[in-house]
Amino acid sequence: MSKLLDRMRNAIRLKGYSLRTEEAYLNWVRRYIFYHNPGLSRGEVNRHPAEMGAEEIRAFLAHLARDHNVSPSTQNQALSAILFLYREVLHIEIEPLLISMAKRPQRLPTVLTPSEVQQLLQHITGKYKLIAQLLYGSGLRLMECLRLRIKDIDLTYRAITVRDGKGHKDRIVPLPQTAIPALKRQIEYARLLHQQDLEEGYGEVYLPHALAQKYPNAAREFIWQYLFPSTKRSNDPRTGKERRHHIDPSGVQRAVRTAARKAGLTKRVTPHTLRHSFATHLLQNGYDIRTVQELLGHKDLRTTMVYTHVLQRSGLAVRSPLDTLNQQTDETNEPMN
């Protein structure tokens, strides 16, 4: 199995997938193989994945849903990983009609009001506040924000370039004027940290898509450094090199949860809630759905349409008959002149 997983790891890296995707895919394939070879830990191999197919994949997915109660999105991730194994490593095509993606429940996103966003931001400080401002002010996904490089920030044109976002697409989003002073301070902080790393014999940063081979000196240039660098250097799990990565998303998630609690918000708030609020508030302010789709980086317009449903189903969209009844009663009870 180790040789098969090594082949898959190489295929994933050849495709330029992120480390998080690599780890998730390898984990699912490992679980798939062990499920159909329960004695593998004792050296007993019953069936190689090449000898299995759609029936075994369906059985594994059913096991995840039945015995582990995993969500549809998790089932779909497991399916994507297994299909990658067959398509890219074993070069076996699985008939798509035999396996279908698990249907995700149609849930409306949680959206904050402008007043609630303001209350939330008042209880976040430092770099986490700046990150929250960009999530709401530019509609970024959390990892898109944390992976920003210095060169992606254009203070003159007030624009942020999102590189290799979801679906491997680039896009340009607005940079909030309000965030510029804090951005300038963050850039200066990153500059000082990078200078310190260079003086200590480090200063390299991870570059995607073999750019390090194409531009050997780019990894040490300031413009390629992360906008939100980690406070400590760490070893790259792929190369073993000591580098400075971006900050961990868990810190942002914790800061947002804490701020929501301090602000007394009664909604479940995560960093992604700010992106949902960005889209909804743009539509409320009269921007067309296609513009919002482009800013969010959605491939399918139907994904963006969920925010129109949020507006249509809000309490402001339909007048309650109870309010109408009370108004009619009040009018009937008005004293005659």
Report whether 91 contacts 51 (CB < 8 A): no
Backbone angles phi, psi at 60, to 5 degrees: -65, -45
Q: Which of 9, 163, 220, 272 is catalytic?
A: 272
272 in catalytic set: yes
Q: Which of 25, 128, 206, 307 is catalytic?
A: 307
Backbone angles phi, psi at 172, to 5 degrees: -115, 130
Contacts of 183 (CB under 8 A, 6+ apart): 130, 153, 155, 175
Provide the sign of the torsion angle of the four alpha carbons 167, 170, 171, 174, taken in this order.
positive
Report whether 260 contacts 254 (CB < 8 A): no
Among residues 267, 296, 23, 41, the alpha carbon closest in space to that of 174 is found at: 296
136 in catalytic set: no
307 in catalytic set: yes
Report whether 39 contacts 46 (CB < 8 A): yes
Q: Which of 141, 151, 163, 233 is catalytic?
A: 141
Q: Which of 194, 246, 275, 281 is catalytic?
A: 275
Q: Which secondary structure element, helix H or strand E, spans residue 134, and what is its range?
A: helix 126-138
* Distance from C-alpha of 77 to C-alpha of 224, rounded to nearest angstrom: 31
Q: Which of 166, 184, 267, 290 is catalytic?
A: 166
SS3 106: coil
* Distance from C-alpha of 296 to C-alpha of 303, rounded to nearest angstrom: 10
298 in catalytic set: yes
Q: What is the distance, to the nearest Å, from the Cα of residue 120 to the centroid of all Cα atoms in its chain?
A: 20
* Distance from C-alpha of 19 to C-alpha of 298, rounded to nearest angstrom: 23
Residues designated as active site: 141, 166, 272, 275, 298, 307
